[in-house]
């Protein structure tokens, strides 16, 4: 695979899946991170409850299709990440999706409480952005271009935080210390 043009190879490295189309409002953040970091990805609805055969096929064929990590988002009972993890050796990152009931705690606990031997890395409720960053970190151990893109992204975040903090410190010092002028 040409390291410099991963996206031009048209082979997704990350699968972003969700239990229903309504989860796209959250899972879109993972896709945005993939775009920013130039990581080839695919995004699909694969329900553990409504389309279990589709989930099975997706999980079983993921590695041979070239995927290297899967981000799976689900709300409520949230079985999707764990079920996918049980059928593949690829790393699976679970995103608990907040529904109206229980503030997403049901999803979080369903994803994080997996039995031994069926690991799912779990991010915070609705935090598909961190799932995307974690997937890029995993792929960055193999793909230098992804690692470099991630390094630039993280450095940009650091610079923005430092810049924003400096502005706020100066503004608050000026306001509180006007008599010192």
Q: Give the separation between CA 118 and CA 104, rounded to whole angstroms.
A: 21
Which backbone phi and psi does 123 adopt, to 5 degrees? -105, 180
174 is in an annotated binding site: no
pLDDT digits (tens, 9 = 90+) for 91-139: 999 999 999 889 999 999 999 999 999 999 999 999 999 999 999 999 9
The string of pLDDT tens digits covering residues 13-35 is: 999 999 999 999 999 999 999 99
Specify the pLDDT at position 94: 99
pTM score of the predicted model: 0.88
91: region left, alpha or beta (phi > 0 left; psi from -120 to 50 alpha): beta
Contact partners, residue 106, CB within 8 Å, separation at least 6? 76, 77, 78, 99
pLDDT tens across 149-161, in order? Answer: 999 999 999 998 8
3-state class (DSSP) for residue 121:
strand
Q: Is 103 annotated as a binding residue?
A: no
Q: Is 23 annotated as a binding residue?
A: yes
First and final C-alpha spacing in the chain: 62
């Amino acid at each position: 695979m040409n390291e410099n043009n991963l996206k031009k190879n048209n082979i997704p490295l990350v699968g972003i899946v969700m239990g229903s189309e309504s989860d796209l409002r959250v899972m879109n953040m993972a896709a945005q991170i993939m775009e920013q970091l130039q990581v080839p990805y695919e995004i699909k609805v694969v329900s553990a409850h409504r389309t279990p055969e589709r989930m099975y096929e997706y999980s079983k064929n993921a590695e041979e299709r070239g995927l290297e990590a899967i981000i799976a988002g689900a709300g409520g009972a949230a079985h999707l990440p764990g079920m996918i993890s049980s059928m593949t050796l690829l790393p699976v990152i679970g995103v608990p999706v907040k529904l109206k009931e229980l503030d997403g705690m049901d999803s979080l606990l369903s994803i994080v409480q997996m039995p031994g031997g069926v690991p799912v890395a779990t991010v915070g409720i609705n935090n598909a952005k961190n799932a995307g960053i974690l997937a890029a970190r995993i792929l960055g151990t193999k793909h230098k271009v992804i690692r470099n893109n991630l390094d630039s992204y993280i450095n940009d975040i650091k610079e923005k935080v430092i810049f924003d903090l400096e502005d706020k410190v100066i503004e608050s010092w000026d306001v509180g210390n006007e008599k010192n002028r």
